[in-house]
Amino acid sequence: MEHILSLSYGKDSMACLGAIERLGWPLDRIVTADVWATDDIPADLPPMVEFKARADAIIKERWGITVEHVRGKYTAETLMYRRRVKGNHAGQIRGWPMTKGQRMGCELQRPCKVKPLQEIQRGGIIYLGIAADEPSRIAGHINRPNVKLPLVEIGWQEDYCGLWSKYSGLLAPIYTEEVRGGCWFCPNQRVDSLRRLRKNYPDYWALMLSWDGDSQFPFKPKRTLRDYDRRFQAEDEGRIALEGKRFRWEEVTP
Ligand code: SF4
């Protein structure tokens, strides 16, 4: 039976490599699922794409294993433009993915990440990077057959996993720089992150605005991406202050 590490490139996931090594557990494969925004644009921001390539090279050199990158059948854009077949919105395109909270992700999670990983991991023993100080996550996985938690077994907590990753050259830029982890178009991201995206990646922002114009659902529960665009434009032009007073949407929306 194969022993497979499910790699997210986060610190806990990375530290699993060290824990598995110390525990003397077998490791046959390392797999990760990449989400794609479109056919040729990854959902990760460029610094994260570069980090993953660097990390893959380190892993190959130190553990002798090539990280396998799998992807779902559909890109995020394809899924957003698929038409609903049932319910009140039948016939309309799906639009922005519905979110299920910060931890649970959104409706892209299953087709773009979970399913392709499940296909490759079927029948193997899966190592998950859940730290020893994450009781609620541990409770959700500890009794699953075919799942092992190396960090729990060895007792490594989140802080230690961060240090291990840092000193192994495997700490993702999301922990040290203003780089977002996860999809750059994620509706769960904070206002600051959206502001940075618009400033640093105008092409991605323009693509999001075109999706926003086609989606019958707003980007966030009560706001379209165009609302955010108006807000940031007003900030750029000095019509509203970035700091010093509480922002009110009435200031920028018609
Ligand atoms: S990062 Fe955001 S958009 Fe991407 S799968 Fe997770 S919840 Fe969905």
> Tens place of pLDDT for every residue, the chain, 254 residues?
999 999 999 999 999 999 999 999 999 999 999 999 999 999 999 999 999 999 999 999 999 999 999 999 999 999 999 998 988 888 899 999 988 765 567 889 999 999 999 988 888 999 999 999 999 999 999 999 999 999 999 999 999 999 999 999 999 999 988 888 899 999 999 999 999 999 999 999 999 999 999 998 899 988 999 999 999 999 999 888 777 678 888 888 77
| CB distance 174 to ligand 1 below 6 Å | no
| CB distance 182 to ligand 1 below 6 Å | yes
Ligand 1 atom nearest to 43, measured from its CA: 4
At 120 the pLDDT is 85
Instruction: Show the tokens assigned to 228.
Output: 């955010």
| CB distance 10 to ligand 1 below 6 Å | no
Q: Look at domain 3-175 and name its CATH class.
A: alpha beta
DSSP H helical ranges for 126-219: 135-141, 150-154, 158-167, 191-200, 202-214
CB 15 within 8 A of CB 164: yes
Domain span(s) for CATH 3.40.50.620 in the chain: 3-175
* Substitution site in 44, 115, 183 for ligand 1 pocket (most atoms within 8 Å of beta carbon): 183
* 23 Cα to the center of ligand 1, angstroms: 33
At 98 the pLDDT is 87
